[in-house]
Chain A
């Protein structure tokens, strides 16, 4: 099975700045999803982008998908302290399973 590679593994920025996280994968996908995990908690779904879409927005989130490069990025604009969390990309593998990347740990400094 494939696994996503996320970059960077950790990111620390000042409140108000933009945060960009990248995800690369190895084989064809149906869709790609991004999840957030606050420390010691379960994951929360943020956004889904289908393989025939190139960009998607949701509030302060912007996701891009480049299927030719097998990569996706998540941009969080105007970051807030509450955005401090780990962020995971997840690739839809068939109709049932998701394969998760290793995550990016984002810290927003006040």
Chain B
């Protein structure tokens, strides 16, 4: 079974703090993703990575950065947390696609509910 783990289920941080959210997958997947989920807005892609040290911006990258030093680990960094970054953060991984006809399912971690006060 694919397992995607996230470092914390719940996290409370203060405005201006630097925040690290860690995600680890155990299936040797090339692709990893960070989303945030807010009521009424669904899941929005923050960043994704298709290989070690490779990253691409998603739809809402502002205020975030990422790091992928090892294949199994993808970190999301909030350089200076703000209250509007209070949200549920979901990490996902997926095997590499073999062309457009084979876009495989994404496997999600349990999520980190971050509160910035």
A interface residue numbers (CB < 8 A to B): 1, 3, 30-31, 33, 35, 40-45, 48, 50, 88, 90, 92, 94-103
Contact = CB atoms under 8 A, between A and B. Distances in A.
A35 B105 CA distance: 9
Interface in B71-117: 90, 92, 97, 99-101, 103, 105-111, 113
A42 to B, nearest CB: 3
Contacts of B56: 96
Nearest to A3: B42
B21 to A, nearest CB: 14
6 contacts: A50-B101, A88-B42, A90-B106, A95-B100, A97-B33, A97-B58
Task: Pick the most buried of B41, B43, B97: most chain A CB atoms within 10 A of its CB.
Answer: B43
Which of A31, A50, A95, A103 has the most C-beta atoms of chain B within 10 angstroms of its own C-beta? A95
B56 to A, nearest CB: 8
Contacts of A101: 42
B45 interface: yes
B110 A1 contact: no
Interface in B25-84: 31, 33, 35, 40-45, 48, 50, 56, 58-59
B24 interface: no
The 9 closest A-B pairs by CB, nearest first: A42-B108, A45-B105, A102-B42, A100-B43, A92-B103, A95-B97, A43-B108, A30-B100, A42-B110
A45 B41 contact: no
A96 B108 contact: no
With a 10 A CB-CB cut-off, give which of A40, A90, A96 has the most chain B CB atoms.
Answer: A96
Contacts of A40: 111, 113
Nearest to A1: B59
A99 B35 CA distance: 11
Contacts of A100: 35, 42-44
Nearest to A42: B108
B106 A98 contact: yes
Nearest to B43: A100
A74 to B, nearest CB: 15
